[in-house]
Structure 1
Amino acid sequence: MSLWAKKEEKNGIFFWLPLMVHLKDTMDVSRWLFEHWLSDSQRELCRKGLKGMGNREAVTPDLASDLASFLGGIHDLGKATPAFQTKKGFSNSKTLDDELKEKLERAGLSGISTVNLRYAGCSPHSLAGEYLLKKFGIGDDIGSIIGGHHGKPVDSLRDILNQSEYEANYFQSNDLRSSVRALWLAAQKETFEWALRENGFSDKDDLPKIPEPVQVIYEGLIIMADWIASNSDYFPLINIDREITENPENRLRMGISKWAGDTPLQTDSYPGKDQLFIDRFGFAPREFQKAVYETTESIRKPGIMILEAPMGEGKTEAALAVTELMMTKTGCSGLFFGLPTQATSNGMFSRIEEWLGSLAKYHDAFQSLRLSHGKAALNEDMNRLRKHADQVNTDGSHDENVYINEWFSGRKKAMLDDFVVGTVDGFLLLALKQKHLALRHLGFSKKVVIVDEVHAYDAYMQQYLEEAIRWMGVYGVPVILVSATLPPEKREAFIETYLRGTGMKKSDMRFPEVSANSYPLITYTDGQNVLVKDDFREGENKEIHIRKLDNDDLLETVSNLLAEGGVVGIVVNTVKRAQEIGKKCKDRFGSNTVEILHSSYIAADRVRKESDLINEIGKNGKRPEMKIVIGTQVIEQSLDIDFDVMVSDLCPVDLLLQRAGRLHRHDIDRPEKLKEPVLYVMGTNQEFKFARGSEMVYGKYFLIRTQHFLPDTIRVPSDIPVLIQEVYGDEDLKLDGSLKEKYEEAKRKQQIEIEEKKSKAQQFKIDHPNPNKTLIGWLREMDISETEETAAAQVRDIQETIEVIAVKKTGNGYGTFKDNVDVSGRISETRISKDLAGQTIRIPGHIIRKQGISHEIKWLEDYNRKSLSEWQKEPWLKGELGIIFDEDGTFDLNGTELKYDNEYGLREVKEVIDEKI
């Protein structure tokens, strides 16, 4: 009781927390989290995973809960060492340090006040705890959990064994006969044996063996418990003169009551399909949605499900219905919904809020929800929900069923929340070696996972996606993948990797035959069986006529198409091309008729543009008499807008079909000339000479194959799977001479690029789950990204870019581009600084690469110190980089002249290069 774990000085008063009190706090919190916060599925995973019980079965049946408690009780064993006990406090006076050493002296540890441990820093307390456990004969499964409880397990067994060189750090003396050494050893062993006894283990041989995936869950749990128990608002420190806490029996109850906002939603029932869809979404289910519900209801052991259906079939609602059924069937207690972009995540957040509100009300629950991406703090829907946390009535009830739990704020804790909507990066990061990765695994292992638009992820991202799916397989977490359509080999790869996670060998897998024109399609697993649902009644097809269009004929064609009015969508492959075509269209048809949309707009401007488009040409929009919308790939990503006619650059067929999904999307009245859906395709070339920008973005191989198989008419939906299989299949094209050579060269380049992407992804990707391994080396050579966005760049293979806040010179100060009001003297106002924080834009990679990202960041940091130093005092702006465009919207970035306006977005004035989105 003389060893300390925490110390603090407040207003000249000294506080501390004895090590044994902190261990007891963490032990109690660990048990509480295991029994009340983990999902039923997680508890079952832990219980089934543990091996070797000694004589424990006679003591208590709940070995897994006792193990969680035991780990909490020994997590800081390494603090019972001279190396830790002589550590100076970060912000307290020397007097507090000296008083705590005096306690140790009086307890018999003579000489601790004056000992000088030259290599104390070589034995951090997490590693020290692992080393002591090894000396006590504890296996590396438990040892690596303790060694990794500060976020990173050791890289190799040698790191532990080498601690024998620093014996003085552990026992104050290298003399084996020293009485003080014996006292340290006795204290350490007694602490360890106390934790055993408190949790019903008679000796170390009663401790079970833990497979690696379960080690990850326990490590995440112990990190979380330690963070809660270390919060002095929940578990207060005590005055230096005292050695025990007040009301120790109430300490856990008081601490948990301050921390916990809600308990996990464990469902034991769900409504019938008609009632579920009416209650949750306000309409009766369509045929596809009924089939998804009935298929899920028939599954005994849910695993992975892939939903493929045309746009407009209600795949999102179907996936949410599946989630509700799977939560009940598996014991999961939450949801992660991952989407391609921040914009699509923002759009989905309000839909999930409504669904969760209905779900929570059905189960008489109160549930937290979180939006998770780099700009989530600026989302108004999420900020509105923050207020619900305080809306508790006098009878303990709540006016709303959904709220924001602030404890789960921050990149390391966000995925621990029960219901999370975010960019797909949140899921991909499960496979990236990063500090505190176990927390992300802890959060995901309790949720059903939905990943939307899985067709949009390239070979690099697929490596992380498949690894994350494999770990979900080992955890028994249901995964729902949603797409308009997938190439057969991608579909099979997702199923295979999930089943491998469950421990199944590929040789034992049996994939059912699926016809090339089976569509819609539900592919799913029930235990180790792979099944499909493809017997859908053939619905009405929409015929889309395909017409090749020369770039030079674009303006004349658009002019003819709009002779009677209408809405034209032009989707191109690069930002530069969108800006160039936008300029020509504005010159010819007038600025008010033309709208440009791409990724190089200030974030707030892009959100406004997307919102305006939905209000004009969305499902219930007030359609203008004539409109031309020119955009890049952002148009194909979940924007519910409707064009009367579409023009697209040539791109891979699945993406071309996604773009076509915005053509005649809804049943509305259209100009007579545009009654039939027509898709004009630009950029085809019989010599296979495609635009440089298109080849940079998509590669030549799939452009060739798409061009080759593109028919004059596409029947949607029946032709979709056939086209996908043709383009992504391995049937060789019948070509002669130079065309054959160009095709073969493109094929070789494509294969090389895929292999390079796979190889590159291995750099920071975690290994496959292995029940026979420990956490030692799990995060060896990990990624050290300090922000969520830089980590996301790792799993997306994004070219190096720099995000800045863009403001415009206004009078003697600066303001935003939207209103030209000088706000430079008002940034201390939260509303102003928060608004500025939303004015972000990315400097394109080709500009950054000119002098290198490090050089450009240094230049921007110097610029900010001179021009925007006041930002570092404001919470919303601290750490951000800003640039001030002049009154004309230009800025000289280290020799590169940039221009920005609300019409065209960001562009390079002197030299513009095609830039991949």
Structure 2
Amino acid sequence: MVPARLLPETRTAWAKFDIKSDDWMPLWRHMADSAAVAGLLWDRWLPSNVRSLVAAALPGGMSDARRLAVWLAGMHDLGKATPAFACQVDPLADRMRAVGLEMPSRQMMGRDRRIAPHGLAGQLLLQEWLEVAQGWPARSTGQLAAVIGGHHGVPPDDVQIVDLDRRPDLLRTPGSSEPVWRRVQTDLLEAGADAFGVRSRLADWQTVRLPQPVQVVLSALVIVADWIASNPDLFPYAHVGRTRTDDERVAAAWRGLGLPDPWRPAEPSGPVDELFRARFALPRGAAPRPVQAAAVHLARAMPQPGLMVIEAPMGEGKTEAALAVAEIFAARSGAGGCFFALPTMATSNAMFTRLLSWLDRLPVRDGARLSVLLAHSKAALNEDYSELLRASWQPITAVDLDGDGGDGAGSPPRPGRGNDDRRAAAELVAHRWLQGRKKGMLSSFVAGTIDQLLLAGLKSRHLALRHLALAGKVVVIDEAHAYDTYMNSYLDRVLSWLGAYRVPVVVLSATLPADRRRALAEAYVGVPAGADGFDPVQDTDTYPLLTAVAPGCAPRIVAPAASGRRTEVVLEPIADDPALLADRLVEELAGGGCALVVRNTVDRVLETAQALRERFGAHEVTVAHARFIDPDRAAKDADLLARFGPPGDEAGRDDADGRDDADGPVDRSRPPRHVVVASQVVEQSLDVDFDLLVTDLAPVDLVLQRMGRLHRHARGVGQADRPERLRTARCLVSGAEWKTQPPEPVGGSQRIYGAHALLRSAAVLNAHLDGTSVPVRLPEDINPLVQRAYAGALIGPEAWAEPMQQARAAHDDLQARKHMRAETFRLGAARRAGRPLIGWLSRGVGDADDTRAGLAQVRDSDESLEVLVVQRRADGTLATVDWLADGRGGLPLPTDAVPTSKSAKAAAACGLRLPWHFSRPESIDRAIADLEANYVEAWQVKECHWLAGELILVLDGDRRASLAGYRLDYSDSEGLRVHRDQ
């Protein structure tokens, strides 16, 4: 905008005010800054697939799309030229009154101002101008104007619009000043139409019907542009130093911001084996597994990138296959990044390390900087990510353009993770501006928990930003079988939006039920359940299996060849008695060997470990479960990998691509005899290998996952390096009373999984447990067992029928209630093109995002309490727990001052999720009250962000505490034990 061409009255309208300095920013200036930023975001930061999505909806294609985005960003604060906004600062309001813009005082306006928030006011003013001055039909104006109405995170709803329509005095003061207000508002609208280049296009746009996904990404782009243009460090209210032109002002801000580039990959076109050697450092002479090669060929053959579901056994390299497909999909679609969604923080941390390794090998254009993020609440405690945060630090402030690179086209090079060959690898940065709950997902490459994806289906403030973040990426969903009905309700809705955005998606699973495969495909394509043409997706019985779907294309089914990796597992039911199990393991391990015992509850883990230690000694029994503080949990995982991981250099890799060598090196760290007793933490993402497995009865897919830790790697020809008795893979199944008809699972297992899933699992495994010694063949039997267990048909002996039908009825009732609960705050499906976003987030959860409240909405589980564990020393002062390694143990935590950053961070690392005992309705309030007794006022400040707002559990010098009527004992070898007070 050119101020000289604006009316004098218009130039008095204000947008920003600094109460400390009395500096202010004219409204026209902020509008011009926002438009300029939007143009730079469009040209230099927005992935090309998002730009193409918008362009496809407009008659002038890409040119129209850029103009529309810039214009909407420029006009977003139009509603500040109203009495309801302008009255807030008396000196600035007086300036406006002096030129005829009369308005009541803020005190006189009172609470009525809330009826006219400036976003909604701007929406109605723009709609009025389009209809009256530009001749648009009223029904066409809302789809554009709602972008302005929602630029503070939530589009207005119909009630808000009606309420403001009834109060025109909030938009223009009645009387003699009303025409002056109208002139100012029209002046801004007319000037914007000229300055932002849309004047000649408005007539053609009035017949456009914008799809809702386009409205969402435009809304998000306007929000980002507004946030950047509102940063006074980038766009100061007053000129500092020499006078700058508008172009210099914007260039200085853009250079100071230094946003990293989007990923712009070229499609890898060479042979598949060359691609895998280049990206994943395959050993010399090794070739990709058949599943991996088939996935790449299918990605290249699809008419357009869409949804690919990769189902293959554990250890077949699904992760690497997904990354290879993601690179191809990104190149073909124009995606600018990748998001890898995993079940837990631990699996996200592991994936982040692998993601960085992959990124280091990606070829990119010279000098490219790519933004990366670890997306979960404890990301800053991850060493790889915190290292990137330190190396990537930069001030966010406008820079002097007199130095090198004064065109503002980029940022100076900064230290990062990338190697020294800029032609071969990008500089990876954890960008300072792209931090926090709202903006983090806008980074190009993200590894995080599945919650970060499911939140895209939760009606919450600034949801458009999360949609923009996903719309510009390839999305990979790992362990797709691991989510329940409640989470799947959100996942399916998110997939429907991803399909509408044309976002490529890769889904990974070793044990995916056929009906879930079909539901995922139908959700993505946007067809109703049971749609014609999707029967083959559900009916196929091949395995491994690749399924590909895309809007407008028939599903494609590919059955890759088997890799040759094969194990036969002999199953045997055993009584659920720790003493009998100890006797049996003494017998089985008489000649040495390593056994894994998997229990479904931590209490059963600890009970079993105690019985086994009485027979084997403490040094031959290791415990692993989720009731350890985070550093101890990480140390446990590292220890398991070091001692029970694959031979050679494959250790630490789940789905590893290194190839087993029957004559390879013997793993010297593997103990001659040992028993690991673990909970579900060993089911996934730990590449551990045992000679014998004992497992509680669990849903069949989880039993199969646990079997994937049995004889996982070749140890000598024909497993000759294993003890002779254990060269045949065997799995002992406990956790049930096998003599009853049907078997009766133990109570803890029923509480976690439900009787229905456990009885279906027992029924499909019955042929292998009835004494005939028919082995389970991996991978051949994985798919048949899973599909039979999750199909609707009756299974099992006739004597089991009535109890199983009762369990099924209870299960169906529970699932229906879960689905209904998920509907409460779940985002609706994308509506017809042209339907405005008005009311899009009505009756939502508010400002949730990655908070406890937000995550509780997308996971249907009992509320769990997470605490930070500290220790009280003999003198009564607090300190970090004394057993921490690396100099972090025993650091003082003063209660009358802010602790040192090192001490606070060490304490924050010691997170522990309390067990179910403290989540029950009768105990949770008391537990919270007891924990809040440890509240430290001095820690509740910004400078102590590691500890502020956290619940603190204080252990004494013997690592004990009392909480809500329970005694707690903690051991770095046993974890947390819970005993009821006598």
TM-score, scaled to structure 2: 0.86
Residues 464-475 of structure 1: pairs in structure 2 closer than 5 A: 464-475=490-501
* 8 Å CA contact 1:872, 1:879 repeated in 2: no
- Which residue among 248, 251, 260 is the counterpart of 2:249? 251
Cα distance in 1, alignment partners of residues 106 and 588 from structure 2: 89
**Residue 158 of structure 2 is aligned to residue 157 of structure 1:** yes
Cα distance in 2, alignment partners of residues 98 and 239 from structure 1: 23
- Which residue among 38, 45, 55 is the counterpart of 1:37? 45
Cα distance in 2, alignment partners of residues 649 and 363 from structure 1: 54
**Residue 873 of structure 2 is aligned to residue 810 of structure 1:** yes
Cα 1:204–1:129 change in 2 (3 A) is: same
Cα RMSD, aligned residues only: 2.7
**Residue 362 of structure 2 is aligned to residue 359 of structure 1:** yes
**Residue 227 of structure 2 is aligned to residue 227 of structure 1:** yes
Cα distance in 2, alignment partners of residues 366 and 360 from structure 1: 12
Residues 678-693 of structure 1: pairs in structure 2 closer than 5 A: 678-684=730-736, 685=738, 686-687=740-741, 688-693=743-748
* 8 Å CA contact 2:862, 2:919 repeated in 1: no
Cα 1:531–1:870 change in 2 (3 A) is: closer
Cα distance in 2, alignment partners of residues 38 and 905 from structure 1: 47
**Residue 808 of structure 2 is aligned to residue 765 of structure 1:** no
Match of 1:741 in 2: 802
2:831 partner letter: N
Give 1:837 deviation, angstroms.
0.5
* 8 Å CA contact 2:394, 2:432 repeated in 1: no
- Which residue among 660, 666, 678 is the counterpart of 2:713? 666
**SS of residue in 2 equivalent to 1:232:** coil
* 8 Å CA contact 2:763, 2:796 repeated in 1: no
Match of 2:574 in 1: 549
Match of 1:262 in 2: 260
Cα 1:67–1:821 change in 2 (3 A) is: same
Match of 1:724 in 2: 786
**Residue 128 of structure 2 is aligned to residue 120 of structure 1:** no
**Residue 123 of structure 2 is aligned to residue 130 of structure 1:** yes
Cα distance in 1, alignment partners of residues 69 and 25 from structure 2: 22
**SS of residue in 2 equivalent to 1:512:** helix
Q: How many residues align?
A: 883
Cα distance in 1, alignment partners of residues 733 and 42 from structure 2: 57
Give 1:858 deviation, angstroms.
4.7
Cα distance in 1, alignment partners of residues 308 and 483 from structure 2: 18
- Which residue among 691, 704, 710 is the counterpart of 1:657? 704
Match of 1:782 in 2: 844
Give 1:896 deviation, angstroms.
3.4
Cα 1:364–1:504 change in 2 (3 A) is: farther
**SS of residue in 2 equivalent to 1:909:** strand
Unpaired segments of 5 or more residues in structure 1? 88-96, 913-917
* 8 Å CA contact 2:940, 2:949 repeated in 1: no
- Which residue among 364, 376, 380 is the counterpart of 2:379? 376
Match of 1:893 in 2: 963
Cα distance in 1, alignment partners of residues 231 and 299 from structure 2: 43
Cα distance in 1, alignment partners of residues 151 and 370 from structure 2: 28
Give 1:872 deviation, angstroms.
7.4
Cα 1:505–1:567 change in 2 (3 A) is: closer
Match of 1:843 in 2: 914
Cα distance in 2, alignment partners of residues 733 and 345 from structure 1: 37
Give 1:491 deviation, angstroms.
0.8
Cα 1:197–1:869 change in 2 (3 A) is: closer
**Residue 91 of structure 2 is aligned to residue 99 of structure 1:** yes
Cα distance in 2, alignment partners of residues 394 and 609 from structure 1: 50
- Which residue among 306, 314, 317 is the counterpart of 1:314? 317
Cα distance in 2, alignment partners of residues 901 and 854 from structure 1: 26
Cα 1:116–1:827 change in 2 (3 A) is: closer
Cα distance in 2, alignment partners of residues 111 and 469 from structure 1: 49
- Which residue among 10, 23, 27 is the counterpart of 1:19? 27
1:599 partner letter: A
Cα distance in 1, alignment partners of residues 274 and 755 from structure 2: 49
The worse-fitting range, judged by mean Cα deviation, of 708-717 and 159-168 is 159-168
**SS of residue in 1 equivalent to 2:15:** strand
1:410 partner letter: G
Match of 2:547 in 1: 523
2:447 partner letter: V
Give 1:554 deviation, angstroms.
0.9
Cα 1:522–1:255 change in 2 (3 A) is: same
* 8 Å CA contact 2:455, 2:849 repeated in 1: no
- Which residue among 842, 858, 862 is the counterpart of 1:799? 862
TM-score, scaled to structure 1: 0.92
* 8 Å CA contact 1:450, 1:479 repeated in 2: yes
Q: Deviations over 1:91-121 (max 9, x none)?
A: xxxxxx4432332133332566688213223
Match of 2:144 in 1: 142
The worse-fitting range, judged by mean Cα deviation, of 775-784 and 460-469 is 775-784
Residues 620-631 of structure 1: pairs in structure 2 closer than 5 A: 620=651, 622-631=669-678
Match of 1:90 in 2: none
Cα distance in 1, alignment partners of residues 965 and 979 from structure 2: 11
2:545 partner letter: L
Match of 1:191 in 2: 188
Cα distance in 2, alignment partners of residues 827 and 603 from structure 1: 23
Match of 2:134 in 1: none
Q: Deviations over 1:618-640 (max 9, x none)?
A: 12462112221111111102111
Cα distance in 2, alignment partners of residues 508 and 256 from structure 1: 51
Give 1:239 deviation, angstroms.
6.4
* 8 Å CA contact 1:545, 1:677 repeated in 2: yes
Cα distance in 2, alignment partners of residues 252 and 394 from structure 1: 17
* 8 Å CA contact 1:817, 1:902 repeated in 2: no
The worse-fitting range, judged by mean Cα deviation, of 333-342 and 602-611 is 602-611
Give 1:129 deviation, angstroms.
1.5
The worse-fitting range, judged by mean Cα deviation, of 134-143 and 223-232 is 134-143
Cα distance in 2, alignment partners of residues 323 and 304 from structure 1: 11
Q: Deviations over 1:399-423 (max 9, x none)?
A: 6222211211111111111110011
Cα distance in 2, alignment partners of residues 537 and 344 from structure 1: 27
Residues 702-717 of structure 1: pairs in structure 2 closer than 5 A: 702-710=757-765, 711=768, 712-717=774-779
Cα 1:786–1:459 change in 2 (3 A) is: closer
**Residue 183 of structure 2 is aligned to residue 180 of structure 1:** no
1:258 partner letter: G
Cα 1:361–1:877 change in 2 (3 A) is: same
The worse-fitting range, judged by mean Cα deviation, of 542-551 and 872-881 is 872-881
Give 1:14 deviation, angstroms.
2.4
Cα distance in 2, alignment partners of residues 893 and 905 from structure 1: 16
Give 1:424 deviation, angstroms.
1.1
Cα 1:872–1:222 change in 2 (3 A) is: closer
Unpaired segments of 5 or more residues in structure 2? 1-10, 132-137, 396-402, 406-411, 419-426, 652-666, 716-720, 769-773
The worse-fitting range, judged by mean Cα deviation, of 518-527 and 570-579 is 518-527
The worse-fitting range, judged by mean Cα deviation, of 531-540 and 348-357 is 531-540
Give 1:388 deviation, angstroms.
3.7
Give 1:221 deviation, angstroms.
0.8
The worse-fitting range, judged by mean Cα deviation, of 596-605 and 463-472 is 596-605
The worse-fitting range, judged by mean Cα deviation, of 67-76 and 682-691 is 682-691
Match of 1:286 in 2: 289
The worse-fitting range, judged by mean Cα deviation, of 845-854 and 302-311 is 845-854
Cα 1:511–1:201 change in 2 (3 A) is: farther
Q: Deviations over 1:134-165 (max 9, x none)?
A: 433362212221111101112x3121121133
Q: Deviations over 1:650-695 (max 9, x none)?
A: 0111110001111111112222221111111002433332111111
Question: How high is the sequence identity, in percent, across the aligned residues?
Answer: 36
Give 1:369 deviation, angstroms.
1.1
Cα distance in 1, alignment partners of residues 368 and 102 from structure 2: 56
Give 1:905 deviation, angstroms.
2.0
Cα distance in 2, alignment partners of residues 752 and 783 from structure 1: 26
**SS of residue in 2 equivalent to 1:531:** strand
Give 1:853 deviation, angstroms.
4.6
1:8 partner letter: D
**Residue 609 of structure 2 is aligned to residue 608 of structure 1:** no
* 8 Å CA contact 1:504, 1:528 repeated in 2: no
**SS of residue in 1 equivalent to 2:247:** helix
Cα 1:64–1:385 change in 2 (3 A) is: same
